[in-house]
Structure 1
């Protein structure tokens, strides 16, 4: 009975449900009410607002409003005392933690006290980047994923790049091969002159910016409205190593892309073939190479035609047979016997 009352009427005497209020009010006016009237509202008995009539157990008489008020005020008084006790405990804990904090060594310059800092929102990211730009003295390394860079993106970062160039800072940028076809990037590099060296790869890691090999910025979510500012030496050194290894594999923007070794198959189609061999779907391949899904599928169709494949399964077999299922390291082996030469 008590459990039922708690589930159906989870309230105190200071905020009766509508039906309970009506039954209790009727009991106060009339002096008592039939027990049957209170059955739909067991909260009245649970809260001792009604109790059995000693002369007739089929009737319930109300507890006087004065007694109910005294009980409510006592409950409120107990709650206030408990809140004061908890507040005092919180203040004491804060004082203790603050005392411990005073024993820590003083932090360094602003922005240098945290090994990892979360930047929430484009405004905070921009402010942190501007601060890092002002402090940068020798080198900036960047990885720029995606395809052709939009003019707006390049213009947005141009003032920062020009400021760095004016201080003699050297910059190295990594892009995907697709970025070679964007006029905006070519214009940007022309404006920057020999202050910037650019190279490209089939695919690169997510966006990365390194200042003086001491602070790095990486995205913290997919839409890049949050970022991580990293100053931990081990993390930054690890990211520098990743960049340097990608840089050695990349092709200078001024150099042409290497021939695939198979007539009729472009360098991009070779990259798509390698990712198809790994089992990736069209959308994943498009994202990794910085192209649209529609463009990716057009290349796959052309690749199928060139290799004489009539199905996706057959295309995978042909890709393996002609040696397109791995990265290009010079001329591609001749097709296996029985496979028509493309």
Structure 2
């Protein structure tokens, strides 16, 4: 009873204990607890106010942005490309390594690009030099020639790339084009734009003429590219793939390169390429001035 303050010493005679009403005793026991609760609640409010700006920053940093999306299957890839193209308002950049595109893919690409051009979107596309001798590619370019389009070629392109409005980029992850990445991270997209501009500045306008014409040293532009890859140790199949031509054409160019340098064997050809000095500096682009 004393422990719960239900008995209290008599003020007139401390040897006696007087009963305390339970309501008063309970209030006396609860007051310090409620005071502590009030203090704790106030402390929690103050801590929440202090941490509020940090929580906001954390929420922004951890909110999923879907900056990298894996697209599996051609239908899903084309659907994502069509959506991005439909939202594109200013410019589309594309890198298209040479290959035999199917009629279906050409029609899909033509429909997508035609819609962009009608909307006033600028298109810049990079092909490999071999595209100059592809009837399908030339016909495709001709159908879009009335829009804000530019086509250039370069000897070697590593992989396919599509960028819309500095906002989204698409790159493949497999050679069969069945899996691609949709990139929306601003840093990644800006980096890929810089890669595109680097190649664009070293490419030749499609209308500038054939880049395979023989230079003053008797070696064509494409043969300079083949020579560089030969010295790096690539086999014929790898060179053909990287330059967008079939292996037979590649070997024909290698034979002409060997004849121009007076080589009687593959081993001697590598030595003569190194001795000739043809790879010591960038070769001038024939058929048109190299863009700065």
Aligned counterpart, 1:248? 201
Alignment of 1:35-74 (within 5 A): none
Q: How many residues align?
A: 226
Aligned counterpart, 1:162? 114
1:324 to 278, 281, 289: 278
Aligned counterpart, 1:211? 164
Q: Distance between the aligned counterparts of 1:293 and 1:133, measured in 2?
A: 35
1:119 to 56, 59, 71: 71
1:222 to 175, 190, 199: 175
User: Secondary structure of 1:313's match?
Assistant: helix
Q: Normalising by the residue count of structure 1, what TM-score does the alignment of the two structures yield?
A: 0.61
User: Secondary structure of 2:84's match?
Assistant: helix
Aligned counterpart, 1:299? 253
User: Secondary structure of 1:279's match?
Assistant: coil
Note the aligned Cα RMSD (angstroms).
Answer: 2.5
Q: Distance between the aligned counterparts of 1:260 and 1:277, measured in 2?
A: 20
Contact 1:215 1:236 in 2 (8 A): yes
Q: Distance between the aligned counterparts of 1:317 and 1:150, measured in 2?
A: 41
Please tell me whether residue 286 in structure 1 is matched to residue 243 in structure 2. Answer: no
State the Cα distance separating 1:151 from its structure 2 match: 4.9
Alignment of 1:159-238 (within 5 A): 159-193=111-145, 194-238=147-191
State the Cα distance separating 1:295 from its structure 2 match: 1.8
User: Secondary structure of 1:228's match?
Assistant: strand
State the Cα distance separating 1:187 from its structure 2 match: 1.7
Q: Distance between the aligned counterparts of 2:114 and 2:264, measured in 1?
A: 52
Q: Normalising by the residue count of structure 2, what TM-score does the alignment of the two structures yield?
A: 0.71
State the Cα distance separating 1:292 from its structure 2 match: 1.2
Unaligned runs of 5+ in 1: 1-102, 332-342
**Once the two structures are superposed, what CA deviation does each residue of 1:21-61 show, in whole Å capped at 9, x if it has no partner?**
xxxxxxxxxxxxxxxxxxxxxxxxxxxxxxxxxxxxxxxxx
Over 3 Å counting, the alpha-carbon distance change for 1:240 and 1:119 in structure 2 is same
**Once the two structures are superposed, what CA deviation does each residue of 1:266-309 show, in whole Å capped at 9, x if it has no partner?**
22222111111111111111110001122212221222122211
Please tell me whether residue 262 in structure 1 is matched to residue 214 in structure 2. Answer: no
State the Cα distance separating 1:206 from its structure 2 match: 0.4
Over 3 Å counting, the alpha-carbon distance change for 1:261 and 1:148 in structure 2 is farther
State the Cα distance separating 1:322 from its structure 2 match: 2.2
Structure with the greater relative contact order (CA < 8 A, sep ≥ 6): 1 or 2?
2
Deviates more, 1:250-259 or 1:227-236: 250-259
State the Cα distance separating 1:233 from its structure 2 match: 0.3
State the Cα distance separating 1:150 from its structure 2 match: 5.5
Contact 1:275 1:325 in 2 (8 A): no
User: Secondary structure of 2:190's match?
Assistant: helix
Unaligned runs of 5+ in 2: 1-57, 286-292
